[in-house]
Amino acid sequence: MADRSALITGVTGQDGSYLAELLVGLGYRVTGIVRRLSSPNLTNISSVLSDVQLVDGDLMDQSSISQAVKVSQPDEVYNLAAQSFVATSFAQPVLTGEITGLGTLRLLEAVRANAPTARVYQASSSEMFGHVLTEPQDEQTPFHPRSPYGVAKVYSYWASVNYREAYSMYVANGILFNHESPRRGLEFVTRKITDGVAQIVAGKTKTLRLGNLDARRDWGYAPDYADLMHRTLAAPTPDDYVGATGESHSVREFVEVAFHLAGIDDWEKHVIIDPQYNRPSEVFNLRGNANKAKRTLGWEAKTRFADLVRIMVEADLQRYGIASR
């Protein structure tokens, strides 16, 4: 795949960093859009910093996005930038709509004007299914978002389909279920748990405060999903694909396994249920059917639940200088 070029929004985030590593390894010329922060946040992409061209841009700002597309002249564009934390979307709904919803439209317009033959990947989400009535969810399942984040993602999903239909652009949606890693932000429940467990083992705290332990998610491993993103744009025609493991587990199960792996079996003594982490409207249960991605793209989630929890617990224990149990 030498001589191909890719533009990634959200390159500093969990998925953007794994995707940048994958594409650099495949010989792509990779450009990443980064927004100006008072303290730069390049830790996730430290391994590929010398191989990735960083350009200033913000999904809130049309001119910087257009300029980034113009100068990078990408063959592939991956729109991974978002205000991606569901809980924050209730506190900052307008900002979330601007970035996670309208931001996609700004990028699509930038591509239409400056690189209309580029293939575009839109990071859509299982959060769009929200209040689900059927299980497992696939590409035909109706959307019923339950958060401002989910609503904004539905907007972006349909904007992407519309640009495909209206302008014959190559735009594809990856409807990805939750995927996690040691690079996951500390506010998301999996990482909050594995970091909390490691802090307890390290003697830094005794407790971990959580919300709804009954929520169920289809949790996969982020590098597997970066591979799916790349395969999605390699298909001859643009289409929309669910990415999922097909298994769902509760937050409670995640907690049990994580504490157990760290050598603590009486996890109930450490976990405090704190209603401040409940959401105004909750997504109770998500489980995906990724048969279409398997059939068409040859993709399957390789890392299963127990291995995912182990990878994350070990990484956080190591961060606090503790050898794996």
DSSP 48-90: GTTTEEEEE--TT-HHHHHHHHHHH--SEEEE--S---HHHHH
Give the helix, strand, coil percentages of the chain, each rounded to 5: 45, 15, 40
Residue with tokens 């929890």: 309
Q: Which of residues 20-79 bind ligand GDD (CB under 6 A)?
A: none
Q: Which does 165 bind (CB under 5 to 8 A by kind): ligand GDD, ligand NAP, none?
A: none
Min separation Cβ 126 and ligand NAP, Å: 6
40 binds ligand NAP (CB under 6 A): no
Q: Which does 185 bind (CB under 5 to 8 A by kind): ligand GDD, ligand NAP, none?
A: ligand NAP
Q: Which residues neighbour 37 within 8 Å (Cβ) at sequence distance 6 or greater?
A: none
35 binds ligand NAP (CB under 6 A): yes
CB-based contact 193:217 (threshold 8 Å): no
Alpha carbon of 115 to those of 28, 62, 70, 107, 111: distances in Å? 17, 15, 7, 11, 5
Q: Which does 16 bind (CB under 5 to 8 A by kind): ligand NAP, ligand GDD, none?
A: ligand NAP
Apex 10 CA angle, 113 and 287, nearest 5: 110
215 binds ligand GDD (CB under 6 A): yes
Q: Which residues neighbour 231 within 8 Å (Cβ) at sequence distance 6 or greater?
A: 293, 297, 298, 299
Min separation Cβ 264 and ligand NAP, Å: 26
Residue 208, classed as helix, strand or coil, is strand
Min separation Cβ 301 and ligand NAP, Å: 12
Q: Which does 189 bind (CB under 5 to 8 A by kind): ligand GDD, ligand NAP, none?
A: ligand GDD
178 binds ligand GDD (CB under 6 A): yes
Q: For the chain, give the number of residues.
A: 325
21 binds ligand NAP (CB under 6 A): no
155 binds ligand GDD (CB under 6 A): no
Q: Closer to ligand GDD at the Cβ: 162 or 250?
A: 250
Min separation Cβ 253 and ligand NAP, Å: 17
Please identify which residue in 6, 24, 69, 99 interacts with ligand NAP, judged by CB under 6 A. 99
CB-based contact 171:163 (threshold 8 Å): yes
41 binds ligand NAP (CB under 6 A): yes
* Bridge partners, 285 (sequence order): 216
Please identify which residue in 210, 244, 308, 309 interacts with ligand GDD, judged by CB under 6 A. 210
Catalytically active residues are 125, 127, 149
228 binds ligand NAP (CB under 6 A): no
* Bridge partners, 173 (sequence order): 122
Min separation Cβ 248 and ligand GDD, Å: 11
Which parts of this chain interact with ligand NAP (CB under 6 A)? Answer: 9-10, 12-16, 33, 35, 37, 41, 58-60, 80-84, 99, 123, 125, 176, 178-179, 185
